[in-house]
Amino acid sequence: MILNEISRYFVDDDNSSGSKSRSIISSMAALKTSVESTFASSPINRPAGSKTMKLEKIRDAQQGFTPVLKRRSFSKLETSSSSTAAALTRDRTSYKVQDGAKSCGGLDYFEEMKQRFLSFKKNKYFEELEHFQNLAKAQSPKFMVIACADSRVCPSYILGLQPGETFMIRNVANLVPPLENGPSETNAALEFAVNTLEVQNILVIGHSDCGGIQALMRMQDDVDSRQSLTENWVVNAKVAKFRTKAYTAHLSFDQQCRHCEKESISRSILNLLTYPWIEERVRKELLFIHGGYYDLLNCTFEKWTLDYKGRKVDEEEVGRHSIKDHSFWS
């Protein structure tokens, strides 16, 4: 049975573990006898002598010892019983750590989310009940925000945006593809925000230490070399990369990435003007386009507004468009 097999794993091949090892094996044999005796005497809901029920109980007992069998690297006795105790302690500690990680990453975390939700309901929802009930019927945001999917960049949190104020889309590297690149989740959101909700402002927010921009700066320019979905997405900012390489070749990679983070915001702003229904509203001053840059390390925010001159911008002018209302929040 299972206890006999476990005892064999604890015994060295040359039987040199000594009297202390034999004592441990004797104790385990006694435990085996006790377990089997308990199985024999315990009441069951099936006729006495049911082989099926006995097998089920033995299987239950085996499941309790499965971790030991899987962790044979800690199972054999070494030259003394103290080393055996240390090995068993390491084995037990390992499983405690794994169980703790599972709990922290699963049920406990959702319990915390539940408490946050209930706190929101009590302290925000009921306090502003009329506002949230109106939101349940319709939305009329004045702003659209295009931000990065990075978990550290949460516009609602860092800018204090409230429910109903902002229509938001988040993607890798906060990019806006040009119209010529075809349909995407981002321009679908743009179409709805501008044509249906009639937002009055579009704010493109970039940030420092952007992984998407780093991927863009590292990738090869050859189309055939693109092997990931990320690379095929961030290539939408290839013009920003080319301009960065041209003007910052003497700088370090990190400095080039920081430059490209801001250059890509400018590229996305100008890509917005490739959509006729956006360009028309900007020209009529019904829609204003803004850029923003969040510095994670220093917790600063830079903001500027596109100064539209009433004409389309060609490739030679990319990155050199006029801006106004440039401010630095620190």
Best CA proximity match to 272, nearest among 205, 184, 176, 207: 176
C-alpha to C-alpha distance for 59 and 43, rounded to whole angstroms: 17
Phi then psi for residue 151, to 5 deg, are -65, -20
Q: Show the tokens assigned to 100.
A: 């703790």
Tell me the Ramachandran region of residue 163: left when phi exceeds 0, alpha when psi lies from -120 to 50, beta otherwise: beta
Q: Is 210 annotated as a binding residue?
A: yes
211 three-state secondary structure? helix
Q: Is 207 annotated as a binding residue?
A: yes
**CB-based burial of residue 175 (10 Å sphere; 0-12 exposed, 13-18 middle, 19+ buried)?**
buried
C-alpha to C-alpha distance for 47 and 49, rounded to whole angstroms: 6
C-alpha to C-alpha distance for 95 and 267, rounded to whole angstroms: 51
DSSP single-letter state for residue 226: -
Tell me which residue has tokens 């998407």.
Answer: 212
Q: What is the CA radius of gyration of the chain?
A: 32
Q: Which parts are annotated binding residues?
A: 148, 150, 207, 210
Q: Which parts are annotated binding residues for Zn(2+)?
A: 148, 150, 207, 210
